[in-house]
Structure 1
Amino acid sequence: MRKILLLVVCLLMPAALVAQEDNDSTGYERDITLSEAIALARVQSVDAAVALNELKTAYWEYRTFRANLLPEVNFTGQLPNYNKSYSSYQNSDGSYTFVRNNTLGLSGELSIDQNIWLTGGKLSLTSSLDYVSQLGRGSYHQFMSVPVSLELTQPIFGVNTLKWDRRIEPVRYAEAKAKFISATEEVTMTTITYFFNLLLAKENLATARQNKENADRLYQVALAKRERGQISKNDLLQLKLNALQGQADVTAAESNLNAQMFQLRSFLGVSEQENLNPVLPEKVPEVDIHYDDVLGKALERNSFAQNIRRRQLEADYQVATAKGNMRSINLFASVGFTGQNKDLRPSYQNLLDNQIVQVGFTIPLLDWGKRRGQVQVAKSNRELEMSRIKQEQMNFNQNIFLLVANFNNQAQQLGIAEEADKIAEQRYNTSVQTFMIGRISTLDLNDAQNSKDEARQKHISELYYYWYYFYQIRSLTLWDFEQNRELEADFEAVVR
């Protein structure tokens, strides 16, 4: 009779646990693979949105730079300029009087401006018209036209900002594009972390429930054995403690599962009504990766390479700017024609020369070495930046070497962990059966259970590290070693 009751309890307990799980769950359950989670994260995650906005900012900065090299059409004017006021006027005898102004003025200028990147100057083709009308007593009006005028503004000896921009901005934009692809891979790495955290929490909960079920079953069997004197009271109490600990482990595992579920759902941007059920990846990409190949692709394609080049150019630009500030000479020249008349049409006839040449300069005669000091500071900063870049390059190469070594070792570690997981599971099942017939003690059974749990966790952890290292190498090289092709993106389509 006791054996029948024990059998009924063992059969009904799993069903009760499943019913309890269904009652506690909210929303609907959805299986999700690692590839599906990665695809969602690249579209819906906040990290992906941040990477996209950074790319858009860099794109429009580059577009602004390109626009500075193209002709620009501008219209400026004052429509109208009305002045009714008094102003002081000095007479020939030195006395002052106040005269009344009552004028209406209109002015407009149309210009086509072109920056000259080779010299750093600006060339403008302009056409302007001014009109002034004296109102009140003795009123009159006058037009003055400048039908065409060619103007040149040219700094001499100063730093050519446009020329430096032509060298720096393309590198900056290339860095931003490479950084966007790397950021996309980093989103994948974060997804892998959250996905395997949830997967491990799910496995821990399943393990805890299985252990609790076995602990309860073994405790019931132990009660029957105790009545027949086949087991000591100490072993019985140990099994009861195992059953209680099993219940506590289930509660803790459920809380951890809910926390990891919330973290992954929040990152992927999915509804809180979805209970994600992560599916253990059946296979991993089998690739053969070498350090020299990874380092070469990383130095060629990674944003770090563009970052180094940009910082070198910017340091050189700061030195050039400091040298250019030691003296300042600016040239302004204007060549054109002008005319004036009381009527509009005649003001464009009988034109006269309109030529202006100005050379302004600032040369410090005594500045106590301030400008030379600024040049030396810029040079020192450049040397400091070069030293930092050299150190960063060494660290970059070292990190890639260690990463490739870890990845190549990880395939072997994963195979060992997978085999150990199977063996530990078989050992535990054998230990349970052996304990049922009284051949081993509770200590041996607990040891088999702990080994099984640790082997399962180790298997999932090694699987996580394999995927994480794989995508970390992708993020550094911007290269898909599984498909043997470069990682690209349609940046024009992405930013629109």
Structure 2
Amino acid sequence: MKYIFFLLISTGIAFSQEKVIFDLDRCINYAIKNSPGANSAKSSYKARTGRINAFKAGFLPQINLSVSIPGLSREIIPVLQPDGSEFFQPQSQYFGSGGISLSQRIAALGSEVTLMSGLSRIDAFGTRDYSIWRTTPVMLSYRQPIFAYNQMKWENKIQDIAQQTNDFEYSAEIERISMNTTQKFFDLYIARMNLQNAEQNVGVNDTLYTISKGRFDVGRIAENDLLQSELAFLNARNSYERALLDYRQVMEEFAVELGLQNKVDLQVQPPLFVPKLNIDEEFAVSQAKQNNPDFYNFEVDKLRAEMNLLNAESNNRINANLVASFGLNNSNEMLRDAYQELLQQQRFDISLQIPIFRFGRGEAELEAALEDKRRTEINTELAKTNLEINVRYQALRLKQLIQQVEIAAKADTIAARRFEVAKNRYYIGKIDLNSFFIAQSEKDLAFQSYIQLLKSFWTAYYNLRRLTLYDFERSRIISHSIN
């Protein structure tokens, strides 16, 4: 029984830690609420929401106040003389201005309407001193690009998709956390089972070595068999030490993944069965197309490529800007009088931009944008096809894993029973040492295969949920709320 003391020394640290027991559902729910990944997903959702709201607010009326803090200028200025000549003299000025404006962007036209009011004052000192107010009680202006592509309209299309996919993005991130948590959960379970199996092997091989020494002393076995049993015992101890270190490392990493602050002894209880799911792969693909944000992001990529192409085409032809305004203004030395007997202020102009010769720059930009659009279309179609294949494969893989888990569970039970029979038969001298070791090895392999298949099933299941945002157990679309 000396190995018992050895095991107690090796595992003594765990006795001082708080024990926390998780099944898979509780573990996932805890990770969704408390893990660093969940907090990051919430921040990403809020950031996306903020950008969407900021963009939408940009198409609501905007009120801005502009104030120019009084400034000072000193310079030599030309002064027109009665005879038509100019005379240069020093002049100092204090000047300041302020205004308030109300503007509205019109996405359908790509234009902007602005209503503003303002005033300014100049105080001149020098050869001729004077002070004057200039007021603009009201001015309405309209700016309209002509022939150019409507950037506002295209940005609106992109933002509409972004708003539509924001909840999908968050749900997909939460399902990714669920999948990663499932992987870590089974990593810990496998590490713990490996530790328990290694501990059992130490005990069995210790007993086996003790029996072998007794049989060697009475001449019933050869020295080779004794050395083989001693080597098996030493290897079992080394395997236990490795398993213990692996278990502690995996447990600490899992605690960090979950967001547990204090050191705890995590105990996991996995589902030892798998649900009987009958997933139609084409239905899974249709749910992915409907719910997976990647499919919507593919459309955004295509829209951006088309927008860039239109921009390149616009820059390679005649562009014009129409600016029209109407307002009332006046000036006077007295502020009150500056608002009396207002005069009309009108403006209408069209400015043209005509590319004449650019050394092939416009054609090169147009060709690059066209090729980028083609590349984007090819890449997005390829990515969509690969994603559909992945979803279809995951659905088929789940069907296969259900059968494999059932077979592996039976194989594990049979191998464990065979090992117990072989152990008891060796204790009474009915089989040789090699037969016992074969049974022990088959027991370990069957157990490893079973728990690895359990991990593969649940990881694949949550991966399929992530890809489709569909709960196949409850037959409903997955939608996670940040609240």
Report the TM-score range of the alignment, normalised by the length of the smaller protein: over 0.9
**Equivalent position to 1:429, from 406, 420, 441:** 420
Matches within 5 A, 1:174-185: 174-185=164-175
1:167, CA displacement in angstroms?
0.5
**Equivalent position to 2:140, from 143, 150, 159:** 150
**Cα distance in structure 2, aligned partners of 1:317 and 1:128:** 38
1:50, CA displacement in angstroms?
3.2
Q: Which residue of 2 aligns with 1:354?
A: 345
Matches within 5 A, 1:161-176: 161-176=151-166
Q: Which residue of 2 aligns with 1:194?
A: 184
- Code of the residue aligned with 2:471 in structure 1: it is D
Identity between Structure 1 and Structure 2 (%): 27
**Cα distance in structure 1, aligned partners of 2:3 and 2:309:** 79
**Contact 1:175 1:304 (C-alpha < 8 Å) held by counterparts:** no
SS at match of 2:177: helix
Question: Alpha-carbon deviations, 1:196-230, whole Å to 9, x = none?
Answer: 11111111111111111111112212222233333
Relative to structure 1, the CA distance from residue 279 to residue 489 in structure 2 (aligned partners, 3 Å threshold; closer, same or farther) is: closer
**Equivalent position to 2:294, from 298, 304, 314:** 304
Which of 140-149 and 295-304 deviates more? 140-149
Which of 162-171 and 267-276 deviates more? 267-276
Matches within 5 A, 1:436-455: 436-455=427-446
- Code of the residue aligned with 1:436 in structure 2: it is Y
SS at match of 1:147: strand
Matches within 5 A, 1:57-456: 57-87=47-77, 97-135=87-125, 138-271=128-261, 273-326=263-316, 327-456=318-447
- Code of the residue aligned with 2:430 in structure 1: it is R
Q: How many residues align?
A: 481
1:89, CA displacement in angstroms?
5.2
**Cα distance in structure 2, aligned partners of 1:145 and 1:46:** 57
- Code of the residue aligned with 1:394 in structure 2: it is T
Q: Which residue of 2 aligns with 1:6?
A: none
SS at match of 1:196: helix
**Contact 1:65 1:165 (C-alpha < 8 Å) held by counterparts:** no
- Code of the residue aligned with 1:69 in structure 2: it is F
**Cα distance in structure 2, aligned partners of 1:296 and 1:362:** 49
Question: Alpha-carbon deviations, 1:415-472, whole Å to 9, x = none?
Answer: 1111111111111001011111111111110011011111111111111011011101
**Cα distance in structure 2, aligned partners of 1:391 and 1:171:** 21
1:272, CA displacement in angstroms?
5.0
**Cα distance in structure 2, aligned partners of 1:280 and 1:447:** 29
1:55, CA displacement in angstroms?
2.3
**Contact 1:336 1:355 (C-alpha < 8 Å) held by counterparts:** yes
SS at match of 1:333: strand
- Code of the residue aligned with 2:452 in structure 1: it is S
**Cα distance in structure 2, aligned partners of 1:424 and 1:474:** 34
RMSD: 2.2
Q: Which residue of 1 aligns with 2:9?
A: 20
1:282, CA displacement in angstroms?
3.7
Question: Alpha-carbon deviations, 1:330-388, whole Å to 9, x = none?
Answer: 11111111122222222222111110112111112233443233223212211121111
**Cα distance in structure 2, aligned partners of 1:65 and 1:71:** 12
Relative to structure 1, the CA distance from residue 490 to residue 255 in structure 2 (aligned partners, 3 Å threshold; closer, same or farther) is: closer
SS at match of 2:279: coil
**Cα distance in structure 2, aligned partners of 1:94 and 1:128:** 35
Question: Alpha-carbon deviations, 1:380-429, whole Å to 9, x = none?
Answer: 21112111122112211211221111111110001111111111111100
- Code of the residue aligned with 1:346 in structure 2: it is D
TM-score normalised by the chain length of structure 1: 0.91
Matched, 1:482 2:455: no
Q: Which residue of 1 aligns with 2:462?
A: 471
**Cα distance in structure 1, aligned partners of 2:202 and 2:456:** 29
**Cα distance in structure 2, aligned partners of 1:161 and 1:446:** 74
**Cα distance in structure 2, aligned partners of 1:276 and 1:72:** 55
**Cα distance in structure 2, aligned partners of 1:422 and 1:475:** 33
**Contact 1:421 1:455 (C-alpha < 8 Å) held by counterparts:** yes
- Code of the residue aligned with 1:100 in structure 2: it is P
**Cα distance in structure 2, aligned partners of 1:186 and 1:234:** 54
**Cα distance in structure 1, aligned partners of 2:227 and 2:73:** 105
**Cα distance in structure 2, aligned partners of 1:302 and 1:329:** 42
SS at match of 2:132: strand
- Code of the residue aligned with 1:182 in structure 2: it is A
Question: Alpha-carbon deviations, 1:256-294, whole Å to 9, x = none?
Answer: 112212221222222352121222324433322111110
**Cα distance in structure 1, aligned partners of 2:118 and 2:181:** 62
1:160, CA displacement in angstroms?
1.2
- Code of the residue aligned with 1:234 in structure 2: it is N
- Code of the residue aligned with 2:21 in structure 1: it is D
Matched, 1:43 2:33: yes
Which of 60-69 and 32-41 deviates more? 32-41
Q: Which runs of 4+ in 1 moved over 4 A?
A: 88-97
**Contact 2:175 2:465 (C-alpha < 8 Å) held by counterparts:** yes
TM-score normalised by the chain length of structure 2: 0.94
1:22, CA displacement in angstroms?
5.2
- Code of the residue aligned with 1:254 in structure 2: it is L
**Cα distance in structure 2, aligned partners of 1:268 and 1:280:** 16
Q: Which runs of 5+ in 2 are unaligned?
A: none
- Code of the residue aligned with 2:9 in structure 1: it is Q
1:151, CA displacement in angstroms?
0.3
Question: Alpha-carbon deviations, 1:212-257, whole Å to 9, x = none?
Answer: 1111112212222233333333222211111111111111111111
Question: Alpha-carbon deviations, 1:274-318, whole Å to 9, x = none?
Answer: 121222324433322111110000011101210111011111101
